[in-house]
Structure 1
Amino acid sequence: MAGILATGTLVTTSRPEVLAGSATADEIPVVPAGPIGDSLRTGRGPDLTGLPGGASSALPEQPKQAPPPDKPEPGTVRLPEGGAATLVRKEVVDGVLPVPDGIGEATWWGAELTGSEGATVLAGHVDWKGAKGPFAELWRAATGREVGITDSAGTQYRFKVSQVLTINKNDLPSRALELFGPRGTHRLVLVTCGGQWVGGQSGYEANRVVIADPIT
Structure 2
Amino acid sequence: MGKHREPEQPEENGVSHYPASGEEGGVGKQGMGRGKLIAIIAAIVVVALVLLQVVLYLASDDEDEAGSAPETVASESASEESGPKSDAFVDDSGQQEHEYEAAPGEFKGFDGMSVGIDGEYAAVDPVQVTDQGVLLPPHDVTRVGWYSASAVPGEPGNVGSSVITGHINYQGQGTGYAEKFTKLKKDQEFTVVIDGQERTFRVTEAPYRLPKGSGFPDVVNDKEGENRLVLITCGGQFVGGALGYEDNIITVAEPVGEPEQPAEQPAGEAPAEAPAEAPAEAPAA
Q: TM-score range by the shorter chain?
A: 0.5 to 0.7
Q: What pairs with 1:21-170 in structure 2 (closer than 5 Å)? A: 25-27=101-103, 37-38=109-110, 75-79=113-117, 81-91=118-128, 97-109=135-147, 110-113=150-153, 114-116=155-157, 117-129=159-171, 131-151=174-194, 153-164=195-206, 165-170=208-213
Summarize the Cα distance change of 1:178–1:212 in structure 2 as closer, same or farther, 3 Å threshold: closer
The aligned amino acid for 1:142 is K
Higher helix share: 2
The 1-side partners of 2:130 and 2:235 are apart by 27
The aligned amino acid for 1:124 is G
Alignment match of 2:234 (pick from 188, 193, 205): 193
Alignment match of 2:225 (pick from 184, 200, 204): 184
The 1-side partners of 2:103 and 2:128 are apart by 11
Following superposition, the deviation at residue 147 of structure 1 comes to 1.5
Match in the other structure for 1:10? none
Higher relative contact order (CA 8 A, sep 6+): 1
Higher mean C-alpha deviation, range 179-188 or range 156-165: 179-188
The aligned amino acid for 1:210 is T
SS at match of 2:218: helix
Summarize the Cα distance change of 1:97–1:135 in structure 2 as closer, same or farther, 3 Å threshold: closer
Summarize the Cα distance change of 1:133–1:156 in structure 2 as closer, same or farther, 3 Å threshold: same
The 1-side partners of 2:240 and 2:176 are apart by 19
How many residue pairs were aligned?
153
The aligned amino acid for 1:143 is K
1:87-122 deviations in whole A, cap 9, x for unaligned? 101356876655312111111021023142311110
* TM-score calculated relative to the size of structure 1: 0.61
* TM-score calculated relative to the size of structure 2: 0.47
Summarize the Cα distance change of 1:26–1:158 in structure 2 as closer, same or farther, 3 Å threshold: closer
The aligned amino acid for 1:188 is L
Summarize the Cα distance change of 1:83–1:169 in structure 2 as closer, same or farther, 3 Å threshold: farther
SS at match of 1:134: coil
Summarize the Cα distance change of 1:91–1:209 in structure 2 as closer, same or farther, 3 Å threshold: closer
Following superposition, the deviation at residue 128 of structure 1 comes to 1.1
The 1-side partners of 2:200 and 2:210 are apart by 25
Name structure 2 gaps, 5 residues minimum.
1-95, 258-285
User: Residue 214 in 1 paired to residue 255 in 2?
Assistant: yes
SS at match of 1:122: strand
Higher strand share: 1
Larger radius of gyration: 2
- Would you say the 8 A contact 1:37–1:112 is kept in 2? no
1:32-54 deviations in whole A, cap 9, x for unaligned? xxx86525xxxxxxxxxxxxxxx
1:67-86 deviations in whole A, cap 9, x for unaligned? xxxxxxx621002x333221
The 2-side partners of 1:93 and 1:205 are apart by 20
Q: Percent identity?
A: 27
